[in-house]
A and B are shown apart, each in its own frame.
Chain A
Amino acid sequence: MTKPIVEIVGLRVGFGGAAAVKDVSFSIQPGETVCIVGESGSGKSVTSLSLMRLVEFGGGEILDGHLMFQRGDVTMDLVTADAATMQSIRGNEIGMIFQEPMTSLNPVFNIERQLTDGLLMHEPLSRSKARERALELLREVRIPEPERRLKQYPHELSGGMRQRVVIAIAMACRPRLLIADEPTTALDVTIQAEILALLNRLKREIGMAVMFITHDMAVVAQIADRVVVMYKGDVVETGPVAEIFAAPKAEYTRALLAAVPRLGDMAGQSAPEPLRLVGDTHDPKPLTPRATPEPLLEVRNLTTRFPVKGGVFRRTVAQVHAVEDVSFTVNKGETLSLVGESGCGKSSCGRSILRLVEATSGTVHLGGQNVLAQTKHELRGMRQHMQMIFQDPFASLNPYMRLQAQLTEPMQNYGLDNREERAAQLFDRVGLPRDFLRRFPHELSGGQRQRIAIARALAVSPGLIVADEAVSALDVSVQAQVLNLMMELQADLDISYLFISHDMAVVERVSHHVAVMYLGRIVEIGPRAAVFENPQHTYTKSLMQAVPIADPNQRKLDGDLAFKPIPSPIHPLDYQPHQSVYETVGLDHRVLVQAG
């Protein structure tokens, strides 16, 4: 075994009185990718920030341990390194990529300046030489038209391109270790696949070591050589990626893996089925749809456009075509998922149906009544039958209201009786102890809050619940529990879900029907099995190709990946979009006909 480039020994980091990292030891060999995986609060980010000695800037303190770093032929302990030494190591020998490509680039400097700043600081280069290097770096990260990019500013680049620039900056001085802290979490799945493939290629070509921090087991499976699993500030398991996934030793790793939905898991299944979690005693029962489907929600030719205001008089100068001629049906007791990448119009579609935003045209029939044609008064009554669960469980509950009041509010709105008793029953229903009723939202964890949001949606016994990215903000083990709860409620109460998500694996797990959205339109719609096992539209196919699978034996990030970028949905006022025309390719399975 060669000498490790980094060896962390007994690291302990505290914030104020609390220890964020308790006792962490592991090492990274040259040229290998080590994934640090864990849920929020596991201390994975703190560990990486400690290695850069950046944790001190955030109010943390390294209490104990050693950070042995191989520098040339000598090994030095970064814990005792002085500020000047750390400065010459940061960005030079250890590069770092952060999560948010929008905020980690300075908006007032052009790309050339961002790239050359680091180079000029660490290496004796002339301006023109630095510029050449910058161009080379942009080519290396496969940015199209690199010459033009040098003069552009961050806001002129797409999210994926920005993250490529961030990587180029981190690579500028040829670091021997690259720390990547959730570099793809904020990105769409196709861009994520591109970035992961890029990191993989750079690692191979340059032979640098990568310390990759993530919460996503599927990403781990795709890129890791070795895995460090962290839980509440401790390392619970370390090992080669194949071993971790095939034979996890720690109880926590097993639970974590059981909670991850894997794309392809549902192949051959006819109905959605709850995940089997560690500790579950009873077998999950599939959600078999009724023999004769009974339509509940019928959406026809729904179109929603938002004005883009500009000029001195704030006149409408263009329109965002958020939802364009969308039609689908949700059956009673079934789940239809709207899946797509950011900006595809899936959220606008859900909001238009509930009239939280006003649609431009089309009809939405719920139980025979056209929601879009109702008066404000009628609409209030209608909302008893359609409810929504929001993405962010921290922002969707009023911080000043006790949970009981939040739950009784909808009942009070519709004049239901026995409100307190019903609120208590709802708590039982979503698996929260009744003494939480007197609490405020901030006293709960994210998963518990999302249970409250579900309970609130259930409070008036609606037929339809629109779940907008309802589990996206949750840790994976919590996500699994919430998904299982939602499926259980569907089985017991015969609820229909319009499930809006960007996560293909989750969608595959919960859906009866799936609609793939792209640029405001549904490009493919059909039974879950048909869409996932026999995708017909090119966009669906590229989505399926881009989704990382939580199985190290199914790696697909070889070579460079480049997906077609999504064009802008903003069009001039006189733009006349064509109608959506579908071709039937199977039973209930329709694909948008490609048109000009």
Chain B
Amino acid sequence: MKEFFTGKGIVGGGIVLLVLAVALLAPLLIPDTWATQMDMRSRLAGPSTTYLMGTDQLGRDLMFRMLLGAQTSIMIAGTAVLMSLVIGLPLGVISGYFGGWIDNVLMRLVDTLLAFPALLLALTISAVLGPNLTNTIIAIGIAFTPYLARIIRGEALRVAQMPYVEAARAVGTSDTWMIIRHILPNIMPPIIVQATISLAFAILAEAGLSFLGLGTQPPDASWGLMIQASRDYLDVAPWTALVPGAAVAITVLGLNMFGDVLRDVLDPRTK
């Protein structure tokens, strides 16, 4: 565990902890109204002592919206990515490891899903299921699954051809054990990296859905919704985009660093 506490590990871990703390604690400590309270006299106001990070087009405090939006964004993105992992991992591993007709069938399915842009797919699913939080998560989760499944399949295929897998087969290891002991640990590093990147895209995907009225419903805040709302005011009030944008960027950066260090910690070769 000592390897974790390098510069990168401390910063990455710190950011992840901070973001999680905000997502969990902000709704408990900050009253909802602080983020939905409109102040028509100070619309699009710059950062000041009253509004530390400025206000949006309706005169709402951006800092509180950002803090309160964290929970929605993190929960939707996190759960969606987790869901796409839960579906995509077995799909990809089975496809890559067994190959043959199983691979063909599963991958044609995935290809079909890949033919649609992820956002369009999420939009369709969300439109069919109806606009609420759970359905948004399901929509994003399904839309992201084919990308992860593809990457995981490629990795599984590569690892399945390694001599140590053949060696394990020669000592009578069953397929189940083979996947658990030999395939999974060896395909983890690229999956961790891909998952952290997917998180960033999931936050933005949620924004897209919200913008179209299918994700977070106003007046609730989410980072994606804030970014979407800011696009008309970029020239007069850039902070409306910068505040939620920085939140997304810092979260993704932290997750990336965390993922990197996690990968190194898990890899016995770097010890």
Check if A303 is an interface residue, CB within 8 A of chain B.
no
A565 to chain B, nearest CB (A): 30
Are B167 and A413 neighbours in the complex by a CB distance under 8 Å?
Answer: no
Are A440 and B172 neighbours in the complex by a CB distance under 8 Å?
Answer: no
Contact of A356 among B170, B177, B181 (CB under 8 A): B170
- Chain B residue at minimal CB-CB distance from A398: B164
Query: Considering the complex, which residues of chain B in the window 67-123 have a beta carbon less than 8 Å from any beta carbon of chain A?
Result: none
Considering the chains assembled together, what is the distance between the CA atoms of A387 and B170 in angstroms? Answer: 6
Most chain A CB within 10 A, of B164, B185, B267, B268, is at B164
Chain B hits for A392, CB < 8 A:
163
- Chain A residue at minimal CB-CB distance from B175: A376
- Chain B residue at minimal CB-CB distance from A393: B163
Check if A256 is an interface residue, CB within 8 A of chain B.
no
| Chain B 143-173 interface 0/1 with A at a Cβ cutoff of 8 Å (1 = within) | 0000000000000000000111011111111
Considering the chains assembled together, what is the distance between the CA atoms of A453 and B163 in angstroms? Answer: 12
Are B171 and A460 neighbours in the complex by a CB distance under 8 Å?
Answer: yes
Given the known inter-chain contacts A383-B172, A401-B181, A410-B172, please indicate yes or no for A396 contacting B268, CB distance below 8 A: no
Check if B41 is an interface residue, CB within 8 A of chain A.
no
A508 to chain B, nearest CB (A): 27
Check if B2 is an interface residue, CB within 8 A of chain A.
no
Query: Considering the complex, which residues of chain A in the window 451-476 have a beta carbon less than 8 Å from any beta carbon of chain B?
Result: 453, 456-457, 459-460
A381 to chain B, nearest CB (A): 8
Considering the chains assembled together, what is the distance between the CA atoms of A356 and B171 in angstroms? Answer: 11
Check if A434 is an interface residue, CB within 8 A of chain B.
no
24 A-B pairs with C-beta separation under 8 A: A354-B170, A356-B166, A383-B171, A384-B172, A387-B170, A387-B171, A388-B167, A390-B166, A396-B166, A397-B164, A397-B167, A398-B181, A399-B164, A400-B185, A400-B267, A401-B185, A409-B171, A413-B172, A440-B268, A440-B269, A440-B271, A442-B269, A456-B171, A460-B171
Contact of B170 among A383, A391, A414, A440 (CB under 8 A): A383
Check if A1 is an interface residue, CB within 8 A of chain B.
no
Considering the chains assembled together, what is the distance between the CA atoms of A440 and B269 in angstroms? Answer: 8
| Residues of chain B whose beta carbon lies under 8 Å from any beta carbon of chain A | 162-164, 166-174, 177, 181-182, 185-186, 266-269, 271
Check if A395 is an interface residue, CB within 8 A of chain B.
yes
Chain B hits for A398, CB < 8 A:
164, 168, 181-182, 185-186
Chain B hits for A381, CB < 8 A:
172
Besides A399-B267, A409-B168, A409-B173, 17 new A-B residue pairs in contact (Cβ under 8 A), listed by A number: A383-B170, A384-B172, A387-B170, A390-B163, A391-B163, A392-B163, A395-B163, A395-B164, A396-B163, A396-B167, A398-B164, A398-B182, A399-B269, A401-B182, A409-B177, A440-B269, A442-B269
Considering the chains assembled together, what is the distance between the CA atoms of A388 and B162 in angstroms? Answer: 15
A348 to chain B, nearest CB (A): 13
- Chain A residue at minimal CB-CB distance from B182: A398
A221 to chain B, nearest CB (A): 33
Chain A hits for B167, CB < 8 A:
388, 390, 396-397, 453, 456
Are B171 and A395 neighbours in the complex by a CB distance under 8 Å?
Answer: no
- Chain B residue at minimal CB-CB distance from A407: B171
Check if A380 is an interface residue, CB within 8 A of chain B.
yes
Considering the chains assembled together, what is the distance between the CA atoms of A290 and B216 in angstroms? Answer: 82
Chain A hits for B171, CB < 8 A:
383, 387, 409-410, 413, 456-457, 459-460
Are A413 and B174 neighbours in the complex by a CB distance under 8 Å?
Answer: yes
- Chain A residue at minimal CB-CB distance from B188: A400
| Residues of chain A whose beta carbon lies under 8 Å from any beta carbon of chain B | 354, 356, 380-381, 383-384, 387-388, 390-392, 395-401, 405, 409-410, 413-414, 440, 442, 453, 456-457, 459-460
B55 to chain A, nearest CB (A): 52
Considering the chains assembled together, what is the distance between the CA atoms of A413 and B185 in angstroms? Answer: 19
Considering the chains assembled together, what is the distance between the CA atoms of A459 and B181 in angstroms? Answer: 18
Contact of B268 among A380, A384, A399 (CB under 8 A): A399
- Chain B residue at minimal CB-CB distance from A399: B269
Considering the chains assembled together, what is the distance between the CA atoms of A391 and B170 in angstroms? Answer: 14
Chain B hits for A453, CB < 8 A:
167
Chain B hits for A354, CB < 8 A:
170
Considering the chains assembled together, what is the distance between the CA atoms of A460 and B181 in angstroms? Answer: 19
Are A399 and B166 neighbours in the complex by a CB distance under 8 Å?
Answer: no
Contact of A395 among B162, B169, B268, B269 (CB under 8 A): B162
Chain A hits for B173, CB < 8 A:
409-410, 413
Considering the chains assembled together, what is the distance between the CA atoms of A581 and B237 in angstroms? Answer: 90
Chain B hits for A409, CB < 8 A:
168, 171, 173, 177, 181
Considering the chains assembled together, what is the distance between the CA atoms of A459 and B172 in angstroms? Answer: 12
- Chain B residue at minimal CB-CB distance from A382: B172
- Chain A residue at minimal CB-CB distance from B186: A400
Considering the chains assembled together, what is the distance between the CA atoms of A387 and B172 in angstroms? Answer: 9
Are A396 and B172 neighbours in the complex by a CB distance under 8 Å?
Answer: no
Considering the chains assembled together, what is the distance between the CA atoms of A230 and B266 in angstroms? Answer: 38
Chain B hits for A459, CB < 8 A:
171
Considering the chains assembled together, what is the distance between the CA atoms of A366 and B266 in angstroms? Answer: 42
Most chain A CB within 10 A, of B166, B167, B267, is at B167
B54 to chain A, nearest CB (A): 49
Are B186 and A399 neighbours in the complex by a CB distance under 8 Å?
Answer: yes
Considering the chains assembled together, what is the distance between the CA atoms of A356 and B167 in angstroms? Answer: 9
Chain A hits for B269, CB < 8 A:
399, 440, 442
Chain A hits for B271, CB < 8 A:
440
Chain B hits for A399, CB < 8 A:
164, 186, 267-269
B130 to chain A, nearest CB (A): 44
Considering the chains assembled together, what is the distance between the CA atoms of A405 and B171 in angstroms? Answer: 13
Chain B hits for A384, CB < 8 A:
172
Considering the chains assembled together, what is the distance between the CA atoms of A64 and B217 in angstroms? Answer: 71
A11 to chain B, nearest CB (A): 32
Given the known inter-chain contacts A383-B170, A459-B171, please indicate yes or no for A442 contacting B164, CB distance below 8 A: no
Chain B hits for A456, CB < 8 A:
167, 171
Chain A hits for B170, CB < 8 A:
354, 356, 383, 387-388
A254 to chain B, nearest CB (A): 35
- Chain B residue at minimal CB-CB distance from A384: B172
Chain A hits for B169, CB < 8 A:
356
Considering the chains assembled together, what is the distance between the CA atoms of A395 and B164 in angstroms? Answer: 6
Considering the chains assembled together, what is the distance between the CA atoms of A339 and B37 in angstroms? Answer: 84
